[in-house]
Structures are given as C-alpha cells and as structure tokens.
C-alpha cells in the first residue's frame, strides 16, 4: 500500500512510522514540524527510505495536489494540537487544526478514492465518565475543546463513511501514551511537553527541578487523578492492526489502553524507584478540564483485531521514558562539545 502518515515526525507518529518501516508499504510522512522533530525523521530515514513532506495541513490546495499526484491507498492521521489546558484557553486553534484540517483531509480522501483512514482519537472524547472503565459505547461527552475537536472529527468520519461506504475508517481512542521506543533511539523530543510520565522523567534526569501534582483532592484512592498509561510502542502497533482490520471489515472504533490505571502519585513513585532519583513534588491547584478517572475497556480491539500489547508494565514504561531523557541529555552534551 501507499500510505500517508500525517504528524509522522511527532511523538506517536514517529514510533508508528518506525513500525511501518518494518513492512513493505510505501510511506509518505507529512508534518509541519511545529512540534515534530526533523532529527527523528533523519534517524528513521537510516532504517529505510521514505518520503518526507514538510507541509501544513491547513494548506488545503497543497494537500489536494499531493493527493492528486500520489494516489494514496491509506491515510494514518496523527497531526493535531494535543494539549487539553491550551485548548481551554485557545479553543479555535483546536477546532481549526484538529477538526477543520481533518475535514479537509477526509475531503481529499473522498475526492481521490483513498478508502482507508486510521484516526488518532482520544479518551478525552468520553469527558468525565460515569463509570471508572469506559467502553466504546460509553457516553461521549467531552469536557474540553480538545476532546470536542476530536469527537467532531469522529462524527465527520462516520458521516463520510455512511455516505460512501467504500471509504472505511478506523478510529483509535488512545488513553495516556507514554515511554519511548524499545528497539530504536526515538522518543518524545518536544521539551515543553505536559504529559505526566515525560515530565516525571525530565525531573528524574535533572532537566526540571520539580513536578506539580494538579489537585490531590479528587475522589480517588490517593486523591490524585487516575489514568490508563499505555506504552507508545503498543499504541503504534494498534495502527498496523487497525489497517489490517479494515481490509476485511467495516469501519470501527476501538479503545486502545491496558484496562487498568495508576494515580499521579503512583506514577511519580514508580519514576523515583526506577531512576533512583528523589525529585521534588509540589501540590498545585486542579486544572480545569481534568476528569478524575479514565480507564479503558480494551476488550474490543483485543477480540476483533490482531493487536497484542507487549509492554503493559508501568516500571518498564517509566524506565524507557527515563532512559530516553538521559539519551537526550547526552546528545545535547555531544553537540555542545
Ligand atoms: N500523546 C497522547 O497521550 C495522546 C493521547 C490521545 C490521543 N493522542 C493523539 O495522537 C496524535 C499524535 O499525538 P502526539 O502525542 O504524537 O503529538 P505530537 O505533537 O508529538 O505530534 C503531532 C504532530 O503533528 C504535527 N502537526 C500538528 N499540526 C499540524 C498541521 N497543521 N500540519 C502538519 N503537521 C502538523 C506536529 O508537528 C507533530 O509532529 C494526536 O492526534 C493526538 O490528539 C495523543
């Protein structure tokens, strides 16, 4: 297949690209490098050649021309803005970059008969669920613009597939993605990241002097929010499984998580344990838009697709994130010499 990966220079996109490079598919990566890394792209090019296009998805004319020229068979769509708190302050950025650009991308697919679409959605589409564990049929009621921008994109995909059934989509609702690649030197490079395990790893590696816990008065076992943390290589392999699934099945939506959760305090303690570093922790106010507990029921993806998670182990996830930070520090020091 000829596959376009949008946002393939970003955190999850680059890990998924790494796995697609093990296949025979012809690969194209489109990224504006706003958050993605050209270093990751250059490193991955050493494994096998692929096409990299530096382009913004809001360049509708450019996207249309690319689709006309390349005649893709599938799109794996990661490119998006991803920060919940930022989406509360600047919602239109999220509706434009996530919903409008995705709509245009779907439009190009419909026009050029690209009939396989894998979409990065999120557990944020569930909002503040009534049950601790959410399945794909749970109520979708996002509580922030990020989640709404993704849910709208999901609805647009569903409508597009209804109108043109040969256009098939696979929606993957990720839970909290963390860690770094287990068999290649890539990880999350963006240094203003807000994801808990990344920030904790930066503290352990000495890049930040403290970590904030945003609220310790939630109705959970230790008062801090509980999330389903999943290793980035397991999220990535779900995209290959999703694409394979679409070849013999109808459009579908899958949760991608492990089905159990850890609190913020438990994650911080695990990071301290695997790194051996006792970094400073400070309790701060709750952030608006943070639900107290979000855990996936991931039975559907396990039953219906070939997806088999390999790294369901918080210690291993934290260790891979910590070791990646140490590598980044080493890389920076070598460059400064
Ligand atoms: N990280 C998580 O825990 C998580 C959880 C749920 C869902 N997701 C979804 O996964 C996808 C990837 O997330 P990530 O963590 O890798 O984020 P990321 O910021 O590392 O990757 C996004 C990539 O898209 C690119 N991009 C953004 N807007 C673009 C545009 N207009 N045109 C071209 N390129 C653009 C960025 O440069 C970046 O490389 C997103 O769609 C996100 O919503 C992530």
Q: Which pLDDT does position 299 carry in this prediction?
A: 97
pLDDT reported for residue 336 = 60
> Do 135 and 301 touch, CB atoms closer than 8 A?
no
> 198: Cβ below 6 Å to ligand 1?
no
Asked if residue 32 has its Cβ within 6 Å of ligand 1, the reply is yes
Is 146 catalytic? The answer is yes
Helix, strand or coil for residue 81? coil
34 in contact with ligand 1, CB cutoff 6 A? yes
CA of 297 relative to ligand 1 center, distance in Å:
23
Q: Of 8, 5, 74, whose CA–CA distance to 38 is shortest?
A: 8
Testing ligand 1's pocket by substitution, the residue of 11, 15, 52 carrying the most ligand atoms inside 8 A of its CB is: 11
The CA distance from 271 to 202, in Å, is 10
- The CATH superfamily of 196-227+260-303+311-336 is UDP-galactose 4-epimerase, domain 1 (3.90.25.10)
Structure token pair of residue 301:
């993806």
Instruction: Say what the pTM is.
Output: 0.96
- Residue among 205, 88, 233, 206 nearest 149 (CA): 88
Sign of the CA dihedral 219, 173, 38, 322?
Answer: positive
- Virtual torsion, Cα 14, 15, 18, 19, nearest 10 deg: -140
Question: 219 C-alpha vs ligand 1 centroid, how far in Å?
Answer: 30
**DSSP 8-state secondary structure symbol assigned to residue 136:** T
Fold of 2-175+230-256: Rossmann fold (3.40.50)
3-state SS assignment for residue 222: coil
Closest CA to 324 of 229, 232, 257: 232
Angle between helices 314-336 and 264-275 (to 10 degrees): 60
Among 52, 25, 47, smallest CA distance to 36 is for: 52
How is residue 266 written in tokens?
């438990």
d(CA 42, CA 146): 30
Instruction: Sketch the domain layout of the chain as residue ranges.
Output: 2-175+230-256, 196-227+260-303+311-336
Distance of alpha carbon 315 from alpha carbon 311, whole angstroms: 10
Residue 240's pLDDT is what?
Answer: 98
Cβ of 13 below 6 Å from ligand 1? yes
Site to probe by mutation for ligand 1, drawn from 82, 104, 228, 253 as the one with most ligand atoms within 8 Å of Cβ, is: 82
Block mean pLDDT (10 aa), the chain, length 337: 98 97 97 96 96 98 98 98 92 98 98 98 91 94 95 98 97 97 89 88 96 96 97 98 98 98 98 98 89 92 98 98 94 71
- Which among 146, 218, 258, 322 is annotated as catalytic? 146
Contacts of 102 (CB under 8 A, 6+ apart): 77, 80, 119, 153, 156
Which residue, judged by its Cα, is nearest atom 1 of ligand 1? 177
Q: Is 63 in the pocket of ligand 1 (CB under 6 A)?
A: no
């Amino acid at each position: 297949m000829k596959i376009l990966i949008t946002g393939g220079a970003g955190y999850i996109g680059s890990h998924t690209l790494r796995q697609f490079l093990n296949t025979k598919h012809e690969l194209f990566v489109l990224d504006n490098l706003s958050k993605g890394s050209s270093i990751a792209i250059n490193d991955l090019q050493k494994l096998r050649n692929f096409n990299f296009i530096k382009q913004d998805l809001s360049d509708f004319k450019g996207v249309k021309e690319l689709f006309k020229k390349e005649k893709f068979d599938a799109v794996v769509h990661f490119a998006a803005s991803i920060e919940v708190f930022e989406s509360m302050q600047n919602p239109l950025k999220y509706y434009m970059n996530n919903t409008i650009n995705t709509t245009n991308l779907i439009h190009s697919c419909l026009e050029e008969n690209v009939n396989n679409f894998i979409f990065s959605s999120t557990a944020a589409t569930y909002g503040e669920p009534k049950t601790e564990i959410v399945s794909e049929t749970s109520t979708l009621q996002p509580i922030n613009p990020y989640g709404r921008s993704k849910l709208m994109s999901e609805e647009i995909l569903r409508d597009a597939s209804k109108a043109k059934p040969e256009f098939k989509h696979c929606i993957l609702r990720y839970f909290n993605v963390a860690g770094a690649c287990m068999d290649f030197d890539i990880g999350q490079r963006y240094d203003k990241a807000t994801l808990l395990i990344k920030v904790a790893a930066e503290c352990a590696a000495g890049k930040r002097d403290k970590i904030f816990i945003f609220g310790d008065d939630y109705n959970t076992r230790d008062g801090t929010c509980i999330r389903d943390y999943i290793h980035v290589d397991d999220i990535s392999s779900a995209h290959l499984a999703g694409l394979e699934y679409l070849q013999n099945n109808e459009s579908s939506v899958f949760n991608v998580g492990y089905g159990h959760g850890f609190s913020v305090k438990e994650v911080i303690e695990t990071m301290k344990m695997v790194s051996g570093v006792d970094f400073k922790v400070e309790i701060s106010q709750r952030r608006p838009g943070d639900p107290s507990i979000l855990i996936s029921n991931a039975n559907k993806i396990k039953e219906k697709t070939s997806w088999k998670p390999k790294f369901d182990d918080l210690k291993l996830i934290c260790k891979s994130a910590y070791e990646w930070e140490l590598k980044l520090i080493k890389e920076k020091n070598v460059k400064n010499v």
